[in-house]
């Protein structure tokens, strides 16, 4: 009887080597689950909650990064989960959208994987133009630079009598001013681009430009406007009782009279709209500038040149009214 029971046990119980194999199998599965790449584990978790995962590739400015993250979280709400992008991550997840803060982060993402959907935040149009050559790429941007026609309208609002605008460029950057040239007529002005053949000819070319124009319209052209040249440009203009408009807030602090700029809140809200559009359509809208803008003014320069300056909000409203008459080409 005991022998029969032993034989039955042998027929119904799995051999020991099978038990060991099953134990090993489940150990491997458990280990793989524990060590699953963070991006994939998060993607699955977020999908289960109905939220979309969006990565943020940060700039070198941690204070700016944190401010943008806070504004994005508020603008996007619970439908989007934000996570930090890490180098090499696109090999694990090439489908989730990446918001790249600044040109450095934007370039890093594009170099790592050109198929990843990427939205540049606070980048120049030139970066996006280079990246948009591939028809299969999904790239767009909330542009940081200001439309030149807006800058020109600021100059006209400050100097209502102005009829001529001077612009400086190198032979390689002359095209920066092409979009605004056709629109100056709608503001009651005409313009001329003065080419600087070499850095040694910058000031002599500037003097000719100042003799022509009622003010200088400055594009974000680092070949002309940079820390090495800006002091000489502004002093030369000041001595000839001329003003410089643009190219950015930083140059207003250096001595340019005024410049428009994009409030960070407006840029982030536009980025949130682009993300929501991508969620719905699988495509981004074209790169563009936020409609809302501010104006930085150097009141000390205005007083030195005896130029009466309106209040900031009055100036912004004046610029908007002037631009209502201008048919600006899309994504100028």
Q: For the domain that residue 140 is a member of, what is the CATH number?
A: 3.40.50.720
Regarding whether 65 and 82 lie in a shared domain, the answer is yes
Compute the average pLDDT of residues 16-22. Answer: 46
Q: Is residue 201 part of a domain?
A: yes
Strand pairing category for 294-297 and 258-261: antiparallel
Regarding whether 238 and 115 lie in a shared domain, the answer is no
Q: Minimum mean pLDDT among 61-65, 92-96, 202-206, 293-297: which range? A: 92-96
Structure confidence at residue 42 (pLDDT): 39
User: Residue 264 burial (CB < 10 Å; 0-12/13-18/19+)?
Assistant: middle
pLDDT at 267 over 80: yes
Q: Is residue 26 part of a domain?
A: yes
Regarding whether 167 and 124 lie in a shared domain, the answer is no
Compute the average pLDDT of residues 63-82. Answer: 94
**Of 79 and 121, the one with more pLDDT:** 121
Regarding whether 24 and 56 lie in a shared domain, the answer is no
Regarding whether 117 and 51 lie in a shared domain, the answer is yes
Regarding whether 230 and 160 lie in a shared domain, the answer is yes
pLDDT tens digits for 278-321? 999 999 999 999 989 999 999 999 999 999 999 999 999 999 99
Asked if 161 and 189 touch (Cβ cutoff 8 Å), the reply is no
pLDDT tens digits for 163-195? 999 999 999 999 999 989 989 999 999 999 999
> How would DSSP label each residue in 24-80?
HHHHHHHHHHHT--HHHHHHHHHHHTTPEEEEEE--S-HHHHHHHHHHHHHHHGGGE
Compute the average pLDDT of residues 213-223. Answer: 95
Query: Quick one: what percent of the chain has pLDDT higher than 70?
Result: 80
Q: Is residue 328 part of a domain?
A: no
Q: Is residue 61 part of a domain?
A: yes
Asked if 246 and 151 touch (Cβ cutoff 8 Å), the reply is yes
Compute the average pLDDT of residues 14-26. Answer: 47
Q: pLDDT averaged over the chain?
A: 84
- List, in sequence order, the alpha helices (H) in the chain: 2-12, 16-34, 38-48, 62-76, 102-112, 125-131, 148-158, 178-181, 202-212, 230-239, 249-254, 264-281, 299-304, 312-323
Q: Is residue 286 part of a domain?
A: no
Structure confidence at residue 87 (pLDDT): 85
Regarding whether 75 and 23 lie in a shared domain, the answer is no
Predicted confidence band of residue 79 (pLDDT cuts 50, 70, 90): confident
Q: Could you list the residue range(s) of the whole structural domain that residue 88 is in?
A: 39-144+266-281
Q: Is residue 290 part of a domain?
A: no
Structure confidence at residue 89 (pLDDT): 76
| Three-class SS of 229-262 | CHHHHHHHHHHCCCEEECCCHHHHHHCCCEEEEC
Q: Is residue 287 part of a domain?
A: no
Regarding whether 152 and 234 lie in a shared domain, the answer is yes
Centre a 10 Å sphere on the Cβ of residue 291 and count the other Cβ atoms it contains.
Answer: 9
Predicted confidence band of residue 218 (pLDDT cuts 50, 70, 90): very high
Structure confidence at residue 55 (pLDDT): 94
Distance set, CA 143 to CA 43, 64, 208, 264, 280 (Å): 29, 16, 32, 11, 22
Regarding whether 233 and 121 lie in a shared domain, the answer is no
Distance CA(203)–CA(168), nearest Å, equals 10
Structure confidence at residue 94 (pLDDT): 75
pLDDT tens digits for 27-48? 444 444 334 333 333 333 344 4
Structure confidence at residue 2 (pLDDT): 42
Compute the average pLDDT of residues 218-239. Answer: 95
Domain total of the chain: 3
Q: Is residue 123 part of a domain?
A: yes
């Amino acid at each position: 009887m005991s022998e029969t029971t032993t034989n039955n046990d042998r027929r119904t119980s799995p051999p020991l080597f099978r038990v060991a194999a099953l134990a090993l199998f489940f150990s491997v599965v458990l280990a793989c689950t524990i060590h699953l790449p963070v991006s994939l584990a998060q993607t699955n978790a977020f999908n289960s909650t109905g939220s979309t995962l969006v990565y943020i590739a940060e700039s070198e400015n941690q204070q700016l990064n944190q401010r943008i993250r806070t504004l994005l979280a508020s603008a996007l709400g619970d439908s989007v989960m934000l996570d930090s992008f890490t180098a090499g991550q696109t090999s694990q997840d090439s489908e989730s959208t990446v918001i790249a803060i600044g040109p450095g982060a934007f370039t890093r993402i594009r170099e790592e994987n050109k198929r990843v959907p990427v939205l540049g935040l606070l980048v120049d149009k030139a970066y996006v133009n280079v990246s948009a050559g591939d028809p299969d790429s999904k790239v767009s941007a909330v542009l940081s630079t200001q439309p030149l026609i807006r800058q020109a309208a600021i100059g006209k609002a400050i100097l209502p009598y102005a009829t001529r605008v001077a612009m400086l460029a190198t032979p390689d950057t002359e095209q920066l001013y092409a979009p605004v040239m056709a629109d100056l007529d709608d503001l009651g002005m005409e313009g001329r681009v003065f080419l600087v053949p070499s850095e040694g000819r910058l000031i002599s070319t500037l003097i000719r430009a100042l003799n022509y124009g009622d003010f200088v319209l400055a594009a974000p052209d680092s070949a002309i406007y940079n820390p090495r040249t800006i002091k000489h440009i502004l002093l030369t203009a000041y001595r000839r009782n001329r003003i410089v408009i643009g190219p950015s807030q930083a140059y207003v602090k250096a001595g340019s009279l005024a410049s428009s700029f994009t409030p960070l809140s407006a840029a982030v809200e536009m980025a949130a709209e682009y993300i929501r559009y991508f969620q719905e359509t699988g495509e981004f809208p074209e790169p563009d500038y936020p409609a809302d803008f501010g104006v930085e003014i150097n009141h000390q320069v205005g007083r030195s040149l005896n130029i009466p300056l309106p209040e900031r909000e009055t100036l912004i409203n004046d610029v908007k009214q002037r631009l209502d008459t201008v048919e600006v080409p899309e994504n100028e």
